[in-house]
Chains A and B, each alone.
Chain A
Amino acid sequence: AQKITQTQPGMFVQEKEAVTLDCTYDTSDPSYGLFWYKQPSSGEMIFLIYQGSYDQQNATEGRYSLNFQKARKSANLVISASQLGDSAMYFCAMREGAGANSKLTFGKGITLSVRP
């Protein structure tokens, strides 16, 4: 089974509207972390937001928030007030294990296009 699943092939959103990018994960580890990264067309990978499995509240970073539903094993990224510069590929990633056994696994990514 895939550790991280991002099934939306491509998303479109109107500028200034909110958009949700889906991510589901699979782990039996009680302690894990979830990350979202943005990759614009220029290619660099930019860290956006982090959610720990024991965090009581959903993470927020500016216009980014993470809708963490632990029982459903989902960690959807919500981008509010979309901007043209948000057009990019977005990757969800999960860290399992601890210390030397810690590994980060990435999903296949979702392409977001923001329309003016």
Chain B
Amino acid sequence: DADVTQTPRNRITKTGKRIMLECSQTKGHDRMYWYRQDPGLGLRLIYYSFDVKDINKGEISDGYSVSRQAQAKFSLSLESAIPNQTALYFCATSLGTDNSPLHFGNGTRLTVT
């Protein structure tokens, strides 16, 4: 079983719909992140959380919100999806030290039509 699990793996939705992407982890890490990947742009940070009561905006948080329901769960919501939010979304976790690498889930491919 994957240590960082993202659901769903693929999702097609329509403009204006609300959608939630879920992430759960069994690694016991405190830090969790949401990134999006677009071709030619690399990965960009949407939101991150260093513990259950801590939520921080990344570089592209507009149009997104997050919820850290528990240490192991971090969900990303698109309140009203738009086509330019079509991307590959990654959840990641890390230990609470700055030299710790990120451990990624397998990604959620989201298409907004």
Residues in B with CB closer than 8 Å to A102 are: 98
A106 touches B42 (CB 8 A): yes
Q: A104-B45, A106-B42, A106-B44 are in contact. Are A44 and B98 (CB under 8 A)?
A: no
Bound Cα distance from A45 to B88, whole angstroms = 12
List B residues 57-102 near A (Cβ within 8 Å). 58, 88, 90, 92, 98-99, 101-102
Stretch of A10-18, A71-79, A91-99 contacting B (4+ beta carbons < 8 Å)? A91-99
A100 contacts chain B at the CB level, 8 A cutoff: yes
B43 contacts chain A at the CB level, 8 A cutoff: yes
Stretch of B12-20, B21-29, B103-111 contacting A (4+ beta carbons < 8 Å)? B103-111
Residues in B with CB closer than 8 Å to A97 are: 98
Residues in B with CB closer than 8 Å to A50 are: 99, 101
Bound Cα distance from A13 to B101, whole angstroms = 27
Query: Chain A's nearest CB lies how many Å from the CB of B2?
Result: 9
Q: Which residue in A4, A45, A108 is a CB contact (below 8 Å) of B104?
A: A45
Bound Cα distance from A113 to B39, whole angstroms = 17
Residues in B with CB closer than 8 Å to A52 are: 99
Residues in A with CB closer than 8 Å to B107 are: 43-45
Query: Chain A's nearest CB lies how many Å from the CB of B76?
Result: 16
Residue from B58, B92, B104 whose CB has the most chain A CB atoms within 10 Å: B104
A107 touches B98 (CB 8 A): no
Q: Chain B interface (Cβ within 8 Å of chain A)? A: 33, 35, 40-45, 50, 54, 56, 58, 88, 90, 92, 98-99, 101-104, 106-107
